[in-house]
Structure 1
């Protein structure tokens, strides 16, 4: 189950289909994995606060992932966790990189869900593997490679 919560109306003002974009990207990233994911489309201040409290980094960032504690509920897929995206940061990055907000939201949602599934990018080999998985998933959504050189302008 994927639940999309929109806390900051700026998301839908700039991208009326923001909830659908995030849901489609999360679904693609999950693939055949069963589990609950909550995607919170928030403002920069909310993400800054969460980043400060849980990562000791007092600044907003584009996406945060919070894996759920292991638990089981009879007849329900286990919760995998939550991802939170900051509108201002995401919109500024999309503009700076010459991407649509929809494509950037898709990329960051896929990225966040992959973290919930245990992927990481701390080591170079992990990063390359995770980026390849992101490219593959995004291609199924019609989203261009977010790591191509001209996308990083």
Structure 2
């Protein structure tokens, strides 16, 4: 039996902070995002440093610190259009502090951001549980451990 085709993904991968370029080859980023997609998408992934990450979080979320991932979703239908902004120093620190590989943490955050781009959220406990379950399912299918275990 053939597996259903994954939705089409147009990906732009940008490195304002190139410190993790070697850990984020295009084919892996494509694989991680596609695994979480339910519909076609045009997604820009931008890897940034602390200053840009902090400025974006401050300007758009009124939180004056750099965060791991920001999702800017512009359209949901018929094609998801979104930007996923990941702050390399924050991702690296979190991976180290949580005892995860940098690759596994990037995979998790890209899956997380992709789910946000498709309308998933975690503001309400029931939604958070559903989103975390979907993240875990996708990551396990990709060969990564449950990030919430």
TM-score range, shorter chain: 0.7 to 0.9
Contact 2:80-2:117 within 8 A present in 1 as well: no
Q: Could you tell me which residue of structure 1 aligns to residue 5 of structure 2?
A: none
1:5 aligns with 2:19: no
Listed as ranges, the gaps of 5+ residues in structure 2 are 1-9
2: distance between equivalents of 1:70 and 1:114? 11
- Kept in 1, the 8 Å contact 2:76–2:118? The answer is no
Q: How far has the Cα of 1:19 moved from its partner?
A: 3.2
Query: Greater shift after overlay, 3-12 or 115-124?
Result: 3-12
Instruction: Output the TM-score relative to the length of structure 1.
Output: 0.85
Measure, in 2, the Cα distance between the counterparts of 1:61 and 1:38.
18
Q: How many residues align?
A: 139
Q: Which residue of structure 1 lines up, in the alignment, with residue 145 of structure 2?
A: 144
Provide the residue aligned with 1:78 in structure 2: 79
Q: Which of 48, 51, 65 is 2:54 aligned to?
A: 48
Provide the residue aligned with 2:3 in structure 1: none
CA deviation after TM superposition for structure 1 residue 35, in Å: 1.6
- Tell me the distance in 2 between the aligned counterparts of 1:66 and 1:83: 6
CA-CA distance at 1:70 after TM superposition: 6.5
What TM-score, normalized by structure 2, do the two folds share?
A: 0.87
Deviations 1:63-83 (CA, angstroms, capped at 9, x unpaired):
000001468xxxxx7352101
Residues 127-147 of structure 1 deviation map (CA, whole Å, 9 limit, x = unaligned): 000000000111111110000
Whether contact under 8 Å (2:12, 2:45) holds in the other structure is yes
RMSD over equivalenced CA pairs, Å:
1.5
Match of 1:17 in 2: 23
Is residue 34 from structure 1 mapped to residue 43 from structure 2 by the alignment?
no
Whole-Å separation in 2 of the counterparts to 1:88 and 1:5: 16
Structure 1 Cα separation of the partners of residues 106 and 98 of structure 2: 13
Paired residues of 1:4 and 1:19 also in contact (CA < 8 A): no
